[in-house]
Structure 1
Amino acid sequence: MSVTSGLFERWAEENNNIIRKWKKYEIQFQSLQNTRKCCNEELLKLHLKVQGVPALTEQLQLEITISFNTLIFSLGYSTSNETTCHLTNTLVRALEAVGTQEPTSDLVTLWQVVVPTFRGTEYEPWIHKLLLVQWALWLSEGQFEKILHLLVLINHKKQSTLSMDLLAETRNLAISIQEDTLLSSVAVQDLKNILHLTTFISHGVEQMKKEKYSEALLAFQEAITLPSPRALLAHVYTLIGLSFAKLHQPQSALQSYRKALEADFNCQKALYQSSLVYRSLGNSNAEIEAVRLLHSASLLHAERDSSGTSALLVSPDMLLGSEQMTFICQIPSPLHILHTLGQRCVLNDRNSEGAEYYLDLLAYLQSDSKEHIPTKDGLLFPRLPVVYLEAAFALLKAQRFWDAIAICDEVIAMTVDLIPEMLVIKIPMEASSELSALALEPDDPGEKLECVLWSGAAYLLQGQAYLQLNDTKEALTSFTRAINHLVKVHIKQKEMDSVETGDMDLNVVVLKALKAKVLAVRAVCFAERSQLKEALRDFQLSLQVLPGCKNTGMWLVEILWRLDRKEEATVIWRQIHNSAQSPTTLNLPLYLQTWQEDAICFDKSNLIKKMEEFIQSSVTEQ
């Protein structure tokens, strides 16, 4: 007996030495990953020694403590199955020590025997330690129903009083806590607290996924009343804000996001969600400022990523699981953020800022950075030519015309070898008037169509830049090259198949809008050069391609007037003023969104005066 007692004492001291070593490095924050791995390996060896002798009640507390420490350290290294196997073996040996047969290796059934067997005994606090490990495992796997039954079992309520409410059972959980001379890797109370907190958060996230936002809000609001690390508290406030946003309470959402930032100024999701709320409220300046702060925070976060790793053996990330942490923390990549920043500035006429952000974006894309276009954050990043065209458009609006021309040259160089001599696109006959779903040829000409559109848009933007520089000759050359590319695409109608349905294809819409715009701006060029017949032709063609542009119609009246075709001008004038049709709203890329305005706008006051006087005189003569 003395030999066995001495063996137990050596194992106890070995356990304590391992934990002391971890605590020392944990406090100093030195070589944590190597130390943790080393402690894990030493505990596994010790665990095997202890389980190499028959299970006895006098060694039960020691064995459970060593098992608890081993399990806690293995959470970050072993698979879920390996940890579950270690836990099962420990529970079985605990039952063997007190002479109780194991019912099954199924953990749910096993716990139904273990908990009543040790309830009220001196070993109950140590069994509860293992129960916390089981809770952690099931929580990380999202096994909420199993957790609920486990907590109900601990609370040992009568069946008639069971609430079967996970949050209620978690809130009312009574765990026996007893510390002794054996050192534990994690304080039991601390582990219980973090499990309590993350269970509330995890439950709330699951309710959000089910679109039960009111239930989620209740869980999150209770979570913030519990002790929590500042970073996690910020995430909970962010989730509260997201719940309010989904419940159409934007001001409450913004208040929650502010609290998140007060808890942790680097909470990027709070900034991102704030920008979305501001956008929904139409507060562009606040939206842009939130995205700007988000961009700065993302750069700082990237710099800190190479720093030390968390010392927590049981972290919120581990308990919530990767899927839930992705839901809680996911934000756009720095590349997406920079693109959004540039785009929102341009759309809100902050053109100089927008141009600078786009230039930063292009510099990043052209750099040797290992992080290229992200594909894992659930957001679509535009194709590279589109980004270049948006940048050229931003520079054009910022009146940096030569920079815009240079960037357009890069787009043209990207696409020049991919432009086909002719491209036939077939669309269903019954839907052609609505620019219906694109039916691609067997050789899939979609990519070639994209290249035609990109090169056409690049030449259009170049021509507009030259027009602003009063170089109408170069402008005409660019517009003509754009048209020469666009006319290579032929849209043909075909019989509608019963299976051919779908949404409007954006590329066909863009093709028509782009062709109409290029013809209109080339007509303006001809008018500037007093080539009125050519201007008339292009304005008429523009309206044939895409009717309804009021500015193009007014230009057509102006050209007819200059050609002394006043009666025809009057007819079109009356058509424009009598038309009740509102301008067609098209979902176009950023660089074409002002296609109905900008370069084809002109001072209509003189034309209006001339037409009104002519019509009045015609009425008087009659």
Structure 2
Amino acid sequence: MKRLRRGAAPEPGCLQAWAAQCEALAGRWREARGSACGGEVARQLRGAFGELLLRMQGLPPALPTMPLELTVLYNSLLFVLGTSDCAIKGEAEGIRHGLLRVLEACGTCGQDLSTEELWQKVLQEVTVEELQSPLHRLAALQAAWWLAASCLQSITDLFRLLSRSEDPGRTPCSGEKNELLALLKAWRAPAEEASISLVQSTEELKETLCTAAAFLQGLQELEAGNLSTTLCLLQEAAGGFCSKRVLALIYVCLGCCAQRMCKPQTALQHLKRALQVDFQCHSALLHTAAVYQELGETDAELQALSLLYEALERNPPSATSSCPYFLIRVELLVNAPILVSLLRHRQPSEVKYLLAQRCLQDGRVADAVEHYLDFLALLQEGLQQQVPLDGDSLLPRIPEVFLEAASALEQGGRHQDSLAVCDEVISRTTNLIPQIVQIEEKLERPECASLEAGLAGGLPSQKRESLCCLMWRAAAYLHQGWVWTKLGKGKEALMQFSRCLNELLRFQPCGRGVEPAESLLPEVKVLQKIRLLSLIGRGMQFLEQERHKEALLDFQHGLQISPDDPTAAFYLVQVLWKLNRKQEASDYWQKYSESPAVEDRQQERPFPLYLDSCLKQAALPQDGSLVRCIQDYLRTTRQDSAV
């Protein structure tokens, strides 16, 4: 290779002064890194190296000064990246400017070239021996910026060039299963003088790049659903060079991968390992609870959620360390959307809600009541920062939480509290619903077939918001009707059921004809269920008061809404029997008793959790006396016809 010749160097004293200042600044960092004041020192040195670089670049580029200038540029950019929360794309222009100065010092230019083309020109044409090691270091730094931007192909192309410049006869690693990782591992920067003042060695940077590349590619494969490849890449990353915090996150991702591979026990092992590495890895607890829920181990699930809530209350997640030991770290280079989703910070209120919801779903009513009341207290205190309302939150819409709380309170025997919570929903929605709510019944996007999918994805349109408010308001009246029923207050129950049905008259679908159930908007399905439950509830009250004709109309209307509903059918049979229309009652009973498993079809379309208590109260009665009477009647009828 050529030795340094071209260009006039500055005065020897000036060059020595710059070298001495670079060494002093690097020594200051070596003393401060990892200490309590490391973060502040890093920010000071960022400015100091930047000033030194400006002084050097204020002179025309010269080959004798380029090794030191590239070293100062390398150190300066290390502090730029190390003191940022993430890689700053604009700062990579510093690398481009440095490469252009190298070409200018060699008597050529590359202003019109892209960054990738510029690197190709520099590595192919600049053969000065003293510049090889500084250029390789700068290339590794360029790879860090490209990695943060997920430009993996650019990194692969760059390291192919580095491999050829290091050993021109070397064969590229294109046959490798993962060429990028193979190139990174095989890369060896040319030897550098021991006196070079670096704030982070090339070897440390290389190890960080290898770990970050494996981690990022593993996440990309996880998002693409290539789970076996994900497993290999994440295991590679777990054996790499990173902090305990990042290692714990890698184990969490391994746990999520194992869970998607239907290996829950393996997932639990990875998540346990994450907590052993970093006990503050709160996302590991959240995913552990999800795995236990999948396994049906509710006690273990609730224990994990309780531990997570206590940990968040006692020790909120800390921000990125302000006193890093290494400036280039894996967490600065790995930016994948799926990582944000898997490791999103959760507020204590979200975990409190999950505890309440899971207890209610599992029938642990007393515990559910306490958790819902704690959550409602957070709302009442106005702690908005503790109650996230964005689209990524674990919380449903707040009226739904109120209705779930009302359901829990009713099941826990706290009837007046349940009525009060429903009153809150009713009062809050009074001015939010127009007199008439007109909307297409049919589902606009077939992929949003579930209620959860229908309500997700940002703020709904104004019409859809009105429909949601109508749904919550009607559900609140429905709850109150069933609470009064449980209290034996028939008059009050009739009033609330009627109010519910009157509210539902506001909804006027614009669809043409009768839409199939699977194509209806999820909110419309819920409204239909609320109407059915309200008709059954009111019909039962009419039946108790022996207002049989009114009861008959409600049960008939209920069957028009849901022809396969066994409860409405049973009560229709009962009221026909009481009206001495025994043949009709018998015919209906035979029709519905011989119908296929209706409950299985209903389970295909789950309804919101807040309707569970109403569904339980409107369940098919277990009294067999009516059935025996009908069977006796049918036997007698057959005998008479036989005679």
When normalised by structure 1's length, the TM-score is: 0.86
Report matched runs for 1:417-428 at 5 Å: 417-423=431-437
Instruction: Give the letter for the 2:582 counterpart.
Output: K
Match of 1:369 in 2: 383
Cα distance, 1:292 vs structure 2 = 3.8
1:582 to 588, 598, 610: 598
Match of 2:189 in 1: 175
Comparing 223-232 and 469-478, the one that deviates more: 469-478
Match of 1:14 in 2: 21
Cα distance, 1:199 vs structure 2 = 1.2
Distance 2:139 2:377 in 1: 54
1:329 to 340, 343, 362: 343
Q: CA RMSD in A?
A: 3.7
Confirm or deny that 1:132 pairs with 2:143. no
Kept after mapping to 2: 8 A contact 1:549/1:596: no
Report matched runs for 1:259-278 at 5 Å: 259-278=273-292
Kept after mapping to 2: 8 A contact 1:102/1:110: no
Match of 2:586 in 1: 570
Distance 1:490 1:229 in 2: 59
Kept after mapping to 2: 8 A contact 1:506/1:588: no
Query: CA-to-partner distance for each residue in 1:552-572, whole Å, 9 max, x for gaps?
Result: 322333334444443333222
Query: CA-to-partner distance for each residue in 1:85-117, whole Å, 9 max, x for gaps?
Result: 3223333444555x4534555433343344466
Gaps of 5+ in 1: 429-434
Describe the shift of the 1:376–1:320 C-alpha distance in structure 2 as closer, same or farther (beyond 3 A).
farther
Confirm or deny that 1:592 pairs with 2:611. yes
Confirm or deny that 1:535 pairs with 2:554. no
Kept after mapping to 2: 8 A contact 1:342/1:353: yes
Comparing 399-408 and 115-124, the one that deviates more: 115-124
Kept after mapping to 1: 8 A contact 2:441/2:521: no
Kept after mapping to 2: 8 A contact 1:202/1:324: no
Describe the shift of the 1:480–1:502 C-alpha distance in structure 2 as closer, same or farther (beyond 3 A).
closer
Question: Tell me, what secondary structure is at the counterpart of 1:371?
Answer: helix
2:528 to 487, 490, 512: 512
Instruction: Give the letter for the 1:223 counterpart.
Output: A
Report matched runs for 1:97-176 at 5 Å: 99=106, 101-103=108-110, 105-115=113-123, 121-156=129-164, 158=169, 161-163=172-174, 165-176=179-190
Cα distance, 1:275 vs structure 2 = 3.7
Match of 2:58 in 1: 52
Confirm or deny that 1:548 pairs with 2:564. yes
Comparing 303-312 and 314-323, the one that deviates more: 303-312
1:72 to 74, 78, 91: 78
2:478 to 460, 467, 476: 460
Distance 1:3 1:140 in 2: 37
Match of 1:523 in 2: 539
Distance 2:317 2:283 in 1: 18
Confirm or deny that 1:614 pairs with 2:621. no
Query: CA-to-partner distance for each residue in 1:287-322, whole Å, 9 max, x for gaps?
Result: 444444444444456364498565642222221236
Distance 1:580 1:150 in 2: 66
Match of 2:413 in 1: 399
Describe the shift of the 1:172–1:559 C-alpha distance in structure 2 as closer, same or farther (beyond 3 A).
same
Distance 2:29 2:384 in 1: 35
Match of 2:5 in 1: none
Cα distance, 1:532 vs structure 2 = 4.2
Gaps of 5+ in 2: 1-7, 443-448, 455-460
Distance 1:436 1:310 in 2: 46
Describe the shift of the 1:335–1:176 C-alpha distance in structure 2 as closer, same or farther (beyond 3 A).
farther
Identity %, equivalent residues: 28
Cα distance, 1:602 vs structure 2 = 3.1
Instruction: Give the letter for the 2:491 counterpart.
Output: K
Kept after mapping to 1: 8 A contact 2:356/2:372: yes
Describe the shift of the 1:377–1:180 C-alpha distance in structure 2 as closer, same or farther (beyond 3 A).
farther
Question: Tell me, what secondary structure is at the counterpart of 1:201?
Answer: helix
Distance 1:618 1:79 in 2: 85
Match of 2:327 in 1: 313
Cα distance, 1:254 vs structure 2 = 3.2
Query: CA-to-partner distance for each residue in 1:393-415, whole Å, 9 max, x for gaps?
Result: 12222332222111001011112
Comparing 154-163 and 470-479, the one that deviates more: 154-163
Describe the shift of the 1:213–1:135 C-alpha distance in structure 2 as closer, same or farther (beyond 3 A).
same
Cα distance, 1:136 vs structure 2 = 1.0
Distance 1:25 1:160 in 2: 43
Kept after mapping to 2: 8 A contact 1:177/1:189: no
Kept after mapping to 2: 8 A contact 1:506/1:587: no
Question: Tell me, what secondary structure is at the counterpart of 1:128?
Answer: helix
Kept after mapping to 2: 8 A contact 1:460/1:478: yes
Distance 1:162 1:511 in 2: 62
Distance 1:575 1:589 in 2: 30
Distance 2:170 2:29 in 1: 44
Kept after mapping to 1: 8 A contact 2:246/2:331: no
Match of 1:471 in 2: 489
Distance 1:502 1:554 in 2: 25
Confirm or deny that 1:85 pairs with 2:93. yes
1:484 to 483, 486, 502: 502
Instruction: Give the letter for the 2:99 counterpart.
Output: L
Distance 1:465 1:81 in 2: 60
Distance 1:578 1:27 in 2: 75
Comparing 416-425 and 504-513, the one that deviates more: 416-425
Describe the shift of the 1:377–1:4 C-alpha distance in structure 2 as closer, same or farther (beyond 3 A).
farther
Match of 1:603 in 2: 622
Report matched runs for 1:219-368 at 5 Å: 219-300=233-314, 302=316, 304-305=318-319, 310=324, 312-321=326-335, 323=337, 325-327=339-341, 329-330=343-344, 334-368=348-382
Match of 1:432 in 2: none
Cα distance, 1:70 vs structure 2 = 0.9
Query: CA-to-partner distance for each residue in 1:185-222, whole Å, 9 max, x for gaps?
Result: 22332222111110111122223333333222221121
Distance 1:324 1:318 in 2: 16
Describe the shift of the 1:6–1:219 C-alpha distance in structure 2 as closer, same or farther (beyond 3 A).
same
Match of 1:431 in 2: none
Describe the shift of the 1:576–1:323 C-alpha distance in structure 2 as closer, same or farther (beyond 3 A).
closer
Report matched runs for 1:188-203 at 5 Å: 188-203=202-217
Distance 2:91 2:439 in 1: 59
Question: Tell me, what secondary structure is at the counterpart of 1:302?
Answer: coil
**How many residue pairs end up in the alignment?**
608
Distance 1:246 1:68 in 2: 42
Query: CA-to-partner distance for each residue in 1:470-506, whole Å, 9 max, x for gaps?
Result: 3333222222222222234344663799xx9994212
Query: CA-to-partner distance for each residue in 1:221-273, whole Å, 9 max, x for gaps?
Result: 21222233111112222222333333444443333233223222333333333
Describe the shift of the 1:216–1:377 C-alpha distance in structure 2 as closer, same or farther (beyond 3 A).
farther
Instruction: Give the letter for the 2:611 counterpart.
Output: L
Distance 1:616 1:407 in 2: 51
Comparing 509-518 and 115-124, the one that deviates more: 115-124
Comparing 182-191 and 559-568, the one that deviates more: 559-568
Distance 1:311 1:518 in 2: 65
Instruction: Give the letter for the 1:16 counterpart.
Output: E
Distance 2:330 2:314 in 1: 22
Instruction: Give the letter for the 2:156 counterpart.
Output: L
Comparing 598-607 and 324-333, the one that deviates more: 324-333
Distance 2:437 2:226 in 1: 50
Instruction: Give the letter for the 1:604 counterpart.
Output: D
Report matched runs for 1:378-417 at 5 Å: 378=392, 381-417=395-431
Distance 2:621 2:631 in 1: 18
Cα distance, 1:521 vs structure 2 = 1.3
Kept after mapping to 2: 8 A contact 1:115/1:153: yes
